Structure 1
Amino acid sequence: MTLNDTSSLKSHLATRRSGRPRDLVEPGPSEEELAEILRLAARTPDHGKLVPYRFVVVGKEARDALAALYEQALRRDGAHEAKIAKSVANAHAAPTLVILISSPVRDHKIPVFEQELTCGAAGMNLLHAAHAHGYVGGWITGWPAYDLAITDAFCNEGERIAGLIYLGTSACELEERERPDMGGIVSRWG
């Protein structure tokens, strides 16, 4: 795509949709494609060049361990069997799972909020890069992003889970959701 090929870029931006992790099936990105997707995801605005995020790829061979971690955390909290079953299924959803970790540099002149925005931008870039490779992504948080046992398994001190990003091919047609009323979110000053 060239800088003059704005119709392709507009089409890319207009057609990206999120998919539900449970609806994402094979094929998913190959190892080479995933490496390229993550490389593109890291091309994000980053005031101070701090790289306040990181990616944890949860391989297929680790999904049973993730499911066990989910189940243990939920049983500890007395969750219903239905929630446990759904969470165990989510641990196995989609061919590829990338956990986006917010890893801000504390006590730095760049505010943590700006660093968190950089992390969010990396997540959005990841979704766009997956779409550009022909895959669908679903970014969720939910209880695993806030449970101490889960965060302890993936995060270092001062970090937190920004999202669980599932990648694959959608098994069903992606739904268009209602988009914001631009008149309600765009204003002019001056």
Structure 2
Amino acid sequence: MPDQNTAALDFLLTRQSRPAKTFTLPVPSRDELIPILTAAARVPDHGKLEPWRFIVLEKPALRRLADLAEARAIEKGLDAEQVAKGRGQFDASHLAVVVVASPKPSPKIPEIEQTLSAGAACLALLNAATAAGWGANWLSGWPSYDRRFLEQGLGLTPEEFVAGIVHIGTAPLTPPDRPRPDLGRIVAWVGA
């Protein structure tokens, strides 16, 4: 039997997200965020293309994006609940990291594989922040899919898109665990 990293496996078996709307200060400093981002960048990346990048949103940027989300929601004719939700995600946060999927032209590595790598970076970021003792939550919301919001607010190129937004802060509580998937329903064992 191989050597086990029991602590890492226990962490993964019990990890859970915290509700982002409950996060308070403090948030990680830039120096504290570096090892978290470093861990997030250690995901499968066939071809070493780095098909993702990170945008760290500090409070002033989050306020600006809250205003832009509200303006875009009104322009789009969204209802009051959607306006509040789009704005609230940025208003309520003290720190967030946008994982930008940034596919690269490659004759060998299909775009879907690059997109999955960006998704892996989101989960690695979430796990690294949680392992570092912070509350972390992966959220998206309609602004993540609005091209004008992405290009004006985050400076994304037309080829780029948001894989996820991970909010990080101090989590005052650990929510009760939610029901987890029944492996009997989702696992198929193929022997031959």
TM-score normalized by the length of structure 1: 0.91
Determine if contact 1:25/1:170 at 8 Å carries over to the other structure: yes
Q: Which residue of 2 aligns with 1:178?
A: 179
Distance 2:35 2:92 in 1: 22
Determine if contact 1:55/1:99 at 8 Å carries over to the other structure: yes
Determine if contact 1:67/1:91 at 8 Å carries over to the other structure: yes
Q: Which residue of 1 aligns with 2:163?
A: 162
1:133/1:75 Cα in 2 relative to 1: closer, same or farther (>3 Å)? Answer: same
The Cα shift of 1:4 comes to 5.1
Q: Which residue of 2 aligns with 1:121?
A: 120
- Paired amino acid for 2:51: P
Distance 2:176 2:70 in 1: 30
Residues 68-98 of structure 1 deviation map (CA, whole Å, 9 limit, x = unaligned): 1101110001223333233322112232111
Determine if contact 2:54/2:98 at 8 Å carries over to the other structure: yes
State yes or no: 1:20 paired with 2:4.
Answer: no
Gaps of 5+ in 1: none
Secondary structure of the equivalent of 1:99? strand
Secondary structure of the equivalent of 2:107? coil
The Cα shift of 1:45 comes to 0.8
- Paired amino acid for 1:159: E
Q: What are the equivalent positions in structure 2 for 1:133-144 lying under 5 Å apart?
A: 133-144=132-143
Residues 114-172 of structure 1 deviation map (CA, whole Å, 9 limit, x = unaligned): 11111111111101110111012111112011112212132112111111110112233
Gaps of 5+ in 2: none
Determine if contact 1:25/1:171 at 8 Å carries over to the other structure: yes
Q: What are the equivalent positions in structure 2 for 1:55-134 lying under 5 Å apart?
A: 55-134=54-133
Identity of aligned residues (%): 37
Distance 2:3 2:26 in 1: 32
Q: CA RMSD in A?
A: 1.7
Bigger CA drift: 98-107 or 50-59?
Answer: 98-107
Distance 2:13 2:40 in 1: 19
Secondary structure of the equivalent of 2:105? coil
Aligned pairs, how many? 188
Determine if contact 2:62/2:94 at 8 Å carries over to the other structure: no
